[in-house]
């Protein structure tokens, strides 16, 4: 029999936590959202340079958000928004561009929270510090109120939905000799503005969207920027088109005590800073062994469909683990599925069947020759297959054709015009289709 009203703890009020709260309540549940910050938005709550300053520039301690001041979205707004709450340049827009700055995404998420009356569900400045499974299968959630007194509280919930994000705990490249190298190392998590790099020689490690944006940001003031890309052939040493102070290299071979850094291409450069744009680690410090999952080399395991730990499903779930995706629609569909599974409207397969499915995903990864850390990487068309599977489970229409085409068009445009794809594009016909489609929600 369906059990329609469960008391649920949601960890985090970023885009995933907000989507989860809305869908859980729509399904008749009673979610309580714990949020460490004083506001909704998660990643999109930009932390100014002063508050991001940290004693450990390679660490995560100071802030949650990894956004830099100049960040504009890397997806067009039509693609990026929730399925039934279009991310249009509304009258309340703070940046009406198609690829807006981060402030506009925060404005959109705040609008979402207001429109669906979610603020009342959130306990702000309250950090979840422990989640423990009780004998009867319910979960004791320990939270700590931030502030002077820091009181702790323990409450019992029927289930826990984890939406704590995965762009906060830095992953650092291992560089032989780095310990004795006298320069400054930092992670992109702590990068905000280019001014501190005035006239410096900076090495940026990575080939992600952030590495690309940050190199260009820094090149506007730095003496030299050298990008180290481990996927570039070992002999690579190329000046970047349009820049007289930026070069692309293969990976760093070693750093030396005299301040020089040697690339695999044999070039040696005296550098002031190494910036690690090398991604992030999944981290769930509040979960114990009774969560039944382990995190090894960025693989959260074993999870059925990247959401449910098989042994304790459906009482523990994770929204938002996949990457190389359009995040908000995926959060929305995962949340609808979790809400319905929790109410009993959707049945999960047996544990054995779920494990078979997990093994099939391992196999797919191996066939592609992907390392373990790509366990939740959805590139190569898999995201839409996955989204549409979730949609079908929930009786929801599949992802709109225009959104799929626009995502592909944007990827192509980004590759062809890395400098200007946010301001020049060829898919206005898809924008027109999206705007037509949005009329039913506006």
Neighbours of 358 (CB within 10 A): 17
Asked if residue 35 binds ligand FAD (CB under 6 A), the reply is: yes
Instruction: Report whether 312 contacts 133 (CB < 8 A).
Output: yes
Of the candidates 122, 132, 150, the residue with the CA atom closest to the CA atom of residue 12: 122
Q: Are strands 184-187 and 273-276 parallel, antiparallel or unpaired?
A: parallel
Sites for ligand FAD among residues 135-164 (CB under 6 A): 163-164
Closer of 54 and 260 to ligand FAD (Cβ): 54
With contacts defined by CB under 6 A, name the span among 42-50, 345-353, 393-401, 403-411 that binds ligand FAD. 42-50
Q: Which of 6, 10, 14, 183 binds ligand FAD (CB under 6 A)?
A: 14
As a whole number of Å, the CA-based R_g of the chain is 22
Q: How many residues bind ligand FAD (CB under 6 A)?
A: 33
Instruction: Report whether 58 contacts 46 (CB < 8 A).
Output: no
The token pair at 385 is 């297959």
Closer of 58 and 262 to ligand FAD (Cβ): 58
Instruction: Please enumerate in sequence order all residues whose Cβ is within 8 A of that of 380, keeping only pairs 6 or more positions apart, or say none.
Output: 368
Q: Round to whole Å and give the CA distance between 157 and 155.
A: 7
Q: Round to whole Å and give the CA distance between 322 and 305.
A: 10
Compose the 272-301 pattern: x for residues touching ligand FAD by CB under 6 A, - for all others: --------------x---------------
Instruction: Please enumerate in sequence order all residues whose Cβ is within 8 A of that of 196, keeping only pairs 6 or more positions apart, or say none.
Output: none
Sites for ligand FAD among residues 412-441 (CB under 6 A): none
Query: What is the residue whose two structure tokens read 């999944």?
Result: 282
CB of 320 to ligand FAD, least distance (A): 4
Compose the 92-131 pattern: x for residues touching ligand FAD by CB under 6 A, - for all others: -----------------------------------xx---
CB of 364 to ligand FAD, least distance (A): 24
**CA 311 from chain center: how many Å?**
26
Asked if residue 17 binds ligand FAD (CB under 6 A), the reply is: yes
Asked if residue 377 binds ligand FAD (CB under 6 A), the reply is: no
Asked if residue 75 binds ligand FAD (CB under 6 A), the reply is: yes
Count the residues in the chain: 442
CA quadruple 318, 321, 325, 328: dihedral positive or negative?
positive
Neighbours of 68 (CB within 10 A): 21
DSSP 398: P
Asked if residue 43 binds ligand FAD (CB under 6 A), the reply is: yes
User: What are the counts of helices (DSSP H) followed by strands (DSSP E) for the chain?
Assistant: 10, 23
Asked if residue 36 binds ligand FAD (CB under 6 A), the reply is: yes
The token pair at 383 is 């995201």
Sites for ligand FAD among residues 77-96 (CB under 6 A): 80
Instruction: Report whether 288 contacts 131 (CB < 8 A).
Output: yes
Q: Which of 108, 116, 139, 167 binds ligand FAD (CB under 6 A)?
A: 167
Instruction: Please enumerate in sequence order all residues whose Cβ is within 8 A of that of 25, keeping only pairs 6 or more positions apart, or say none.
Output: 31, 121
Closer of 127 and 224 to ligand FAD (Cβ): 127
Asked if residue 15 binds ligand FAD (CB under 6 A), the reply is: yes
CB of 193 to ligand FAD, least distance (A): 14
Closer of 12 and 302 to ligand FAD (Cβ): 12
Q: Which of 31, 165, 314, 329 binds ligand FAD (CB under 6 A)?
A: 165
Closer of 167 and 212 to ligand FAD (Cβ): 167
Asked if residue 227 binds ligand FAD (CB under 6 A), the reply is: no
Asked if residue 327 binds ligand FAD (CB under 6 A), the reply is: yes
CB of 318 to ligand FAD, least distance (A): 10
Q: Report phi then psi at 434, rounded to 5.
A: -65, -45
Question: What is the binding site for ligand FAD (CB under 6 A)?
Answer: 11-17, 34-37, 42-44, 64, 66-67, 71, 73-75, 80, 127-128, 163-165, 167, 210, 286, 320, 327-328
């Amino acid at each position: 029999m369906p059990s329609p009203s469960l008391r649920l703890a949601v960890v985090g009020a970023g885009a995933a936590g907000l989507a989860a709260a809305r869908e859980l309540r729509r399904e008749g549940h009673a979610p309580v959202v714990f949020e460490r910050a004083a506001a909704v938005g998660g990643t999109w709550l930009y932390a100014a340079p002063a508050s991001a300053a940290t004693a450990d520039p390679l660490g995560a301690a100071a802030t949650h958000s990894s956004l830099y001041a100049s960040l504009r979205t890397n997806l067009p707004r039509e693609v990026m928004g929730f399925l039934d709450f279009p991310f249009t340049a509304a009258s309340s827009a703070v940046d009406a561009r198609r690829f807006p700055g981060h402030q506009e995404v925060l404005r959109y998420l705040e609008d979402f929270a207001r429109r669906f009356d979610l603020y009342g569900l959130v306990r702000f400045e309250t950090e979840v510090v422990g989640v423990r499974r009780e004998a009867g299968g319910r979960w004791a959630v320990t939270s700590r109120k931030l502030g002077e007194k820091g009181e702790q509280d323990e409450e019992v919930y029927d289930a826990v939905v984890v939406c704590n994000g995965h762009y906060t705990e830095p992953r650092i490249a291992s560089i032989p000799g780095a310990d004795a190298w006298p320069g400054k190392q930092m992670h992109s998590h702590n990068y905000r503005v280019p001014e501190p790099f005035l006239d410096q020689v900076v090495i940026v490690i990575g080939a992600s969207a952030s590495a690309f944006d940050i190199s260009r940001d820094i090149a506007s003031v730095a003496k030299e920027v050298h990008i180290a890309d481990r996927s570039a052939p070992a002999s690579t040493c190329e000046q970047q088109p349009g820049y007289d102070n930026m070069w692309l290299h293969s990976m760093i071979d070693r750093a030396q005590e005299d301040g020089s850094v040697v690339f695999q291409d044999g070039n040696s450069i005296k550098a002031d800073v190494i910036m690690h744009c090398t991604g992030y680690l999944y981290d769930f410090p509040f979960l114990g062994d009774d969560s039944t999952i382990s995190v090894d080399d960025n693989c959260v395991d074993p999870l059925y469909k990247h959401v449910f730990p098989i042994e304790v499903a459906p009482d523990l779930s994770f929204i938002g683990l996949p990457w190389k995706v359009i995040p908000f629609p995926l959060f929305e569909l995962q949340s609808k599925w979790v809400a319905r599974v929790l109410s009993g409207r959707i049945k999960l397969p047996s544990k054995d069947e779920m494990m078979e499915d997990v093994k099939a995903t391992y196999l797919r990864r191996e066939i592609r020759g992907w390392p373990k850390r790509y366990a939740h990487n959805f590139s190569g068309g898999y995201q839409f297959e996955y989204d549409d599977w979730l949609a079908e489970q929930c009786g929801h229409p599949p992802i709109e054709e225009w959104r799929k085409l626009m995502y592909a068009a944007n990827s192509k445009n980004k590759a062809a015009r890395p400098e200007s794809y946010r301001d020049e594009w060829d898919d206005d016909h898809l924008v027109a289709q999206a705007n037509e489609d949005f009329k039913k929600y506006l």
